[in-house]
Structure 1
Amino acid sequence: MSQPYGGGPVLSEMPGITRAAQVMLGVIALAHVIIAGMYGYALSKWDETMAEAGITGDSEAEAFADLGKGVVVFFLGLAAVFAVLGLVLVLQYAKGGNSVRVCSIVYGSFAIVSGIFTIAAYGIGLVVMIIAILLIVFSAKRATADWFRRPRY
């Protein structure tokens, strides 16, 4: 499209590649909700599992069990925070600036790391890693950059 005046045409509709990145971001956020739920379930069964394993009465064994419980609580909190951050980014795609695109790339990088930690959880970690890589690629595309740098009147 050629114009006799400066500047390019203003994008009025989100490009398909950008919409795909937004959907992938939502899928990763949903996966983090599922991961947080799995950690919550593991935490709810923790004391019962430790009692079945015979880790009661010995203070040193209980200290190690409590340490493991603390690690699960940490990962639960981390997954919940990632889910909330992903939701916030998804909601900012329509009206956000270039910082939303940059945050999506960083979020995808952290999602790869969280996918590595949850790779044993029914394969959900592998799915998160693949989608996160695609999120990074789609967020780094020129069409996505143009969408987030468009003028807003």
Structure 2
Amino acid sequence: MNFLEAKTYLFEKLAPSKIMALASSVNDYVMVRNVSCLIYNDAIYFKTDKNFRKTKQLYKNPRVALCYSGIQVEGKAEILGLVIDEPGHQFEKLYQKYLWGSYNAYSHKEDEILVRVEPVFVEIWDTDEKNQAFQTFIDFEKESVEYCQYDDKK
């Protein structure tokens, strides 16, 4: 599998939306919480209140990790501004379509900011047709992929 195939594999496994665990850290104080994510434009997007503790952490240290099932995405978070100010309102439209419950319950337009996480390094645990575990490592900076068989069942 080459880099472009691995990138497609990753985003197909995540799209269009997932509830992912977001880990962030400042001064060795680590926090993990779930965020409702949308996957588009080769990145992971979520919204959050501009006054939350996680937002304050992201401003101080944009290095984050997101996890869903056997997929861990290490990346860099970028705060893009208010959700309502996004050109074309793509996030808002997708959020309403795929995460209606959250959209309906947690839309505070004056405080909601849009965060984009650009993947840097990804680790995917999966199994093949013989139920043998393997890992796929995707390095976005080097545009490289490494495949590692984990077990060797007969």
Superposition TM-score tier, normalisation by shorter sequence: under 0.3
Query: RCO (CA 8 Å, sep 6+): is it higher in 1 or 2?
Result: 1
Higher helix share: 1
Output the TM-score relative to the length of structure 1. 0.26
Higher-Rg member (1/2): 1
Which structure shows the bigger proportion of residues in strand conformation? 2
